[in-house]
Amino acid sequence: MFRTAAALAIAAAALTGCAPEPQLSISDAWVRLAAVDGRPAAGYFTVNGGPAAATLVSVRTDLALRTELHESMAAAGGGMTMDAIDQVPVPARGEVRFAPGGKHAMLFGVNPQVKPGTSLTLTFTFADSTRIQHKARVIAAGDQAPSVD
Residues 6+ apart with CB under 8 A from 41: 31, 32, 33, 34, 64, 106, 107, 110, 114
Say if pTM beats, i.e. exceeds, 0.85. no
* pLDDT above 70 (res 49): yes
Q: What is the C-alpha separation between 125 and 131, in angstroms, rounded?
A: 5
- The DSSP 8-state label assigned to residue 87 in this structure reads -
Longest dimension (CA), the chain: 71
**Average pLDDT for the chain:** 89
What pLDDT score was predicted for residue 96? 98
Mean pLDDT confidence for 75-81 = 80
94, 100 contact by CB (below 8 A): no
What CATH number is associated with residue 112? Answer: 2.60.40.1890
| Number of domains present in the structure of the chain | 1
Residue span of the structural domain in which 101 resides: 22-139
Please check whether residue 146 lies inside any domain of the structure: no
134, 122 contact by CB (below 8 A): yes
Please check whether residue 130 lies inside any domain of the structure: yes
- The DSSP 8-state label assigned to residue 9 in this structure reads H
Q: What are phi and psi of 4, to 5 degrees?
A: -65, -45
* pLDDT above 80 (res 84): yes
105, 118 contact by CB (below 8 A): no
Please check whether residue 58 lies inside any domain of the structure: yes
Mean pLDDT confidence for 66-93 = 90
pLDDT band at 95 (very low <50, low <70, confident <90, very high): very high
